[in-house]
A = this chain, B = another copy of it.
């Protein structure tokens, strides 16, 4: 059995690396960090809770660590910011203490990839489930952070990558059915935050509003529209639905539902002024945005309605994303209805 002290030592060894922006890393009461001149800070935190966000049955330790950091990096990407420092609080029940090393390895592997230093945190026993919370600190040039509230009527709505693969994998895991494909498993367990895309859009001032898709396109799009006080007309046939969603779903409409409401895509949803839309469309799969596909999926409207269009026919967009308190806390998200 590792003691807390051994575990902290191990983190120190793996995380301690000379960086000019860290004066004092892990191991004291707090880290001492040197902010970059002339940049603003961004800060965010996001937790993963056992049997709400993951189950130990099918989520390996490395994926828990990876994802705990990735969901925060995804938020950072959605601001157009550069991540710098992470803090992790981990509470482990006795029968999960053996997972500590794997969780840490998964987290540090991703942190290395994106040049994030682990500078602090907390380890604790848990009498109940496994909890992991990551706080991420990054920075952004003044005035360049992309908010949710900047969308204007006429803006074109884009989404990165494809939608519904993580939800498809989740459904397969939960129902103990065969996985659609290995890529879908990775989309659920090891999501890749779209940092290059977010930073490029912010630097080039291409996005008027942006957020990352965690709770499902329909709910997250409703949040963007509410913050911007606009509506949207979403083109149902333009949605970049992942192949895995079709494999898992019983019929094409169910695949679309996974893409609209499934959640955990960790793609970026953003709006672009109409005169820049072609520029953005031409960036699809370009190295400058990390090679990720960019798809136009709709337009921002003056009225506050959220509409879903099928080749000319229009219906209200049903909002079926995930609300932690209103919903039953069901990991499959199937029964949660937020009613935004």
Binding site for B on A (CB under 8 A): 1-7, 23-24, 27-35, 40-47, 49-53, 75-76, 78-79, 81, 85, 87-89, 91-92, 94, 97, 100, 119-129, 131, 133, 135-138, 140, 145, 147-149, 210-212, 227, 323-327, 329, 338, 340
Contact = CB atoms under 8 A, between A and B. Distances in A.
Contacts of A32: 40-42, 79, 140, 145
A145 B33 CA distance: 11
| Residue in A4, A32, A46, A227 whose Cβ sees the most chain B Cβ within 10 Å | A32
Given A122-B133, A135-B135, A5 B323 contact: yes
Contacts of A131: 47, 49, 91, 126, 131, 133
Given A23-B40, A43-B120, A326-B1, A28 B89 contact: no
Contacts of A29: 44, 75-76, 78-79, 148, 210-212
Nearest to A223: B5
A3 B45 contact: no
The 9 A-B pairs at the shortest CB distance, nearest first, are namely A128-B128, A128-B129, A135-B135, A125-B329, A30-B44, A3-B326, A51-B127, A133-B133, A47-B89
B91 A49 contact: yes
